[in-house]
Structures are given as C-alpha cells and as structure tokens.
Chains A and B, each alone.
Chain A
Amino acid sequence: MGPRLGVGRVIFEVFRQEKKGQPFAHAGSVEAPDAAFADAWAREQFGRRGESEGLWLVPRSSIHAITEWADEFDLKYRRVDGYSIKERLRIARDRAAADR
C-alpha cells in the first residue's frame, strides 16, 4: 500500500476522539507537506462542526501495523471461552444438593 505522491508529501492518518474519555478512532487521512499544514487542514476536515473533542495526526510511515497472529496449539486458557464452567457448576450443585 502506498500511492505515488509528490516528493516530500506525507499522508497523515487522523485519529478522532468524539467525546472526552472515549478512545481515539481512525477517521481518515490527509495528504500534507508537513505537520503544520496537516494541523491546519485536519482540524477543519474533521472538526469544523465541533464534532471532535481531539485529533491525533500521525504520519502513515510512523504506524507499525500488526494483522497476523500464530496460535497453532489452540491455547484456549488464554481466552474466556476456554473454560466450560457451566458443566462443572451443574455437577457441583447437583452433588451439594444430594449431600444435604
């Protein structure tokens, strides 16, 4: 990925926080010669209606993306759905009821 750009032009990814306390989510990108222009442009493109609490501008080249994972041996204990609690609980309750 990466379109042919003029010499020195940078793609800035724009992350937008809609309300205080919320995460910054990816909103789009602007092409600009530097951060100062990206600021001048992104603030209007993503905030002119007061719809953004804050913006983060990050050169695309600074973003290190991770999209592939290896979980070959199916280590279910690392995930919540790896435990069959329901079944064990049923057995324990039945036993407790029988003991009373």
Chain B
Amino acid sequence: MDARTEEFIAYVQDGGQVEATDWLPDEYRQKLVKFVEMHANSELMGVLPERDWILRAPTLQRKLALTAKVQDEVGHAQLIYRVAEDLGKPREQMFADLLSGKSKFHNVFHYPTKTWGDVGVIAWLVDAAAIISQKALLKCSYAPYARIMKKICWEESFHILHGRDVILAMVTGTDAQRELVQEALDRWWGPLMQFHGNPIARDEDPMWFWRIKSQGNEEARQQFLEGYVPQIRELGLTVPDPKLHRRDDGVWEYSEPDWDELRSVVTGHGPRSAERLAFRARFLEQEKWVRDSVLAA
C-alpha cells in the first residue's frame, strides 16, 4: 500500500473528513460509490411500496402526510444520487445498473404492502430501522454525504411520528383495525430483522475501516430492538419471535434471521423485485423524451 493511501487511512480513522475535490484512494472511492448508490436506489425504490396507498388514504390528513413522506423519499434519492454523481457516476448509468440488477436496493423494498396496517408499520418501524443506519452516516468520512444525512435524518423523524400516529389510531380503534396492525407486523418482522445485514466483526467491516459508517450491523440491530420492542409491546402487540428477549446485560437475543432470504431478495428474487423494477423501467422509458429533448439545452 502506498504512503499516500496509508496517510489517508490514518486521517479518516482519526475522524478526518474529505471533500469531492480531494484525492481519494481508488478502493475508498469504489466502496463509497457502491454504498451511496445502493442507498439512493433504496430511497427511489422505497417509493413504490407506498405510493399506492397515497391513493387509498382514509382521511385528508393521512393523504397529505403520506404524500409528504413519499415526496421526502424522492427528495432523498435526489440528494444521494447527486453525491454519487459528483463522485463520477452519471445518474443515467445508475438507473441503468439498478434496472439491470447490477446494483442493489435494500431488502424491505422488495416486499408487498397489503393493507393500511403495512403503511403504519413501514412508516414507524422500517423508517426507524433506516434512521438508525442513517444516523451512523452523520460523521461519514466523506463530507458531502455526511452533510446531506442531516437533512435526511430530520425529514425521517417526521415519518416516524406519522407512522406511530397511524399505528396508534388503529390500535385504539376497532378490533379489525388492531388486527391489521398485528398482521402487518407479523409479515414485516422477518425483513426488519434482516434489514441491518448479517453481523460483521468490526475489524472485518470495510465500512468501518474507511469510516464511512460509524456503527456495525449488529450494533444497529441492537439499537433498533432496544428502542422499539418495548414500544411495540406497550401497545399490546406481539413480536412474532418467541426467542426474542433482553438479557440482563442489555443484549437482545433473537431467532437467527434468514440470511438466505436476505441474499435471495437483495439479488432481485424478492416477491415484488421484478415487478417494481419493471414499473420503474416503464416510466423511465416513457418519459425519456422529456429528459432528452426538453430538459437538455
């Protein structure tokens, strides 16, 4: 390894940050672009499970709140793609790689949303899991990415409030409404437990090595469980994992998540992966004329 790279590593491991115009080691740039791209893809694809429910929202306030939430996700995609673009990868190329399956997006966005219960669970718990990961990026060694994370985390906090409010309205409502929430939770718990990824030892985690993330996968999952299992249980809901419990030392034990399912889903074999990518592709194709002829020059 050359001296310049060694110096860079020492610098970022000491808490130093770099800008778009600084020299970056090739390995750092590659890992960073891949990570940022997957994040952007996830925000973009995360729109699709939820947008149908905008059309079905049962009150004007819920319709507005859900539209604003989905709008935020599109906005996040814009912010994050811009970061990757300034690292040298054009937006069109990133869309092409997403649609061809060459690049990936997070597991949770490959699953169907079946009821209004899903709307609540996603806004409350999926976004909570996501915000934990996002907070771990606030001190990212790559400063342009760290800076947009502040806006992203601020906006996500609205989503969690909205999700919790949706859930509370239902668990204090009719038996049928309560059942919608429990049923949605039963379906989403598996993907939620897989969301933060399989545990990687810190000294084997490149994201920690380059100080892109300040938190490992297992640490994030533990933080999620610590924060949200009590909240779930205090509403009288059941977490569908009989092995889930908190040890005296504060560590949560749980049934081993299905890592095969995670791998399969993230490589494009989830229940809605193909359909959603096809939907994206269709609209990108249909509006190509707008981008090519109208937005140029």
Across the interface, which residues of B come within 8 angstroms of A9, CB to CB?
295-296
Q: Which residues of B sit under 8 angstroms from A32, Cβ to Cβ?
A: 295
Docked-complex contact B82 and A29, CB < 8 angstroms: yes
A33 to B290, CA, bound (A): 12
Contacts of A4 in B (CB 8 A): 90
A6 CA to B294 CA, complexed, in Å: 11
Whether a CB of chain B sits under 8 angstroms from the CB of A31 is yes
Q: Which residue of the partner chain, among A30, A33, A48, contacts B297 with CB atoms under 8 Å?
A: A33
Tell me whether B148 is interfacial, beta carbon within 8 Å. yes
Of A1, A3, A5, which contacts B89 at CB under 8 A? A3
Q: Is A75 an interface residue (CB 8 A)?
A: no
Chain A residues positioned under 8 Å from B292 (CB to CB):
6
A31 shortest CB reach to chain B, Å: 7
Does A28 contact B295, Cβ atoms closer than 8 Å?
no
Do A6 and B296 touch (CB < 8 A)?
Answer: yes
Asked whether B86 lies within 8 Å of A7 as measured between CB atoms, the reply is no
Q: Given that A31-B82, A67-B21 are known contacts, is A3 also in contact with B296, CB under 8 Å in the complex?
A: no
CA distance A64 to B85 in the complex (A): 20
Known pairs A9-B296, A28-B148, A33-B297; A3 contacts B21 (CB<8 A): no
Q: Assess the A8–B297 pair: CB atoms within 8 A.
A: yes
In the bound complex, CA of A27 to CA of B148 (Å): 7
How many angstroms between the C-alpha atoms of A45 and B74 in the bound complex? Answer: 10
Are B21 and A65 interface neighbours, CB within 8 A? yes
B4 beta carbon closer than 8 Å to chain A: no
Q: What is the interface of chain B mostly: helix, strand, loop, or mixed?
A: helix
Nearest Cβ on chain B to A26's Cβ, whole angstroms = 8
Band of interface residues on B: 20 to 34
Q: Which single residue of chain A is at the shortest CB-CB distance from B150?
A: A27
Q: Which residue of A lies closest to B144 (CB)?
A: A28
Interface string of B52-96 (1 = CB under 8 A from A): 000000000000000000010001001100100110111100000
B78 touches A33 (CB 8 A): no
Residue of B nearest to A33 (CB): B295
CB <8 Å contact, A33 and B82? no
- Is B291 at the interface (CB under 8 A from chain A)? yes
Beyond A3-B86, A6-B295, A67-B19, list 16 extra A-B contacts (CB 8 Å).
A3-B85, A6-B291, A6-B296, A8-B297, A9-B295, A26-B147, A28-B148, A29-B82, A31-B91, A33-B295, A33-B296, A33-B297, A37-B295, A45-B79, A49-B155, A65-B21
Mask, B1-21, CB within 8 Å of A = 1, is 000000000000000000111
Q: Please state if B151 and A27 are interface contacts (CB–CB under 8 Å).
A: yes
User: Chain B: which residue is nearest A32 at the CB level?
Assistant: B295
A8 and B293 alpha carbons, distance in the complex (Å): 11
Given A3-B90, A65-B21, the answer on whether A8 and B78 have CB atoms closer than 8 Å is no
List A contacts of B89 (CB < 8 A): 3
| A65–B21 alpha-carbon span in the complex (Å) | 10
Contact sample, A vs B, 14 pairs, CB 8 Å cutoff: A3-B88, A3-B90, A5-B90, A6-B292, A7-B297, A8-B296, A9-B295, A9-B296, A27-B151, A28-B148, A32-B295, A33-B296, A48-B71, A65-B21
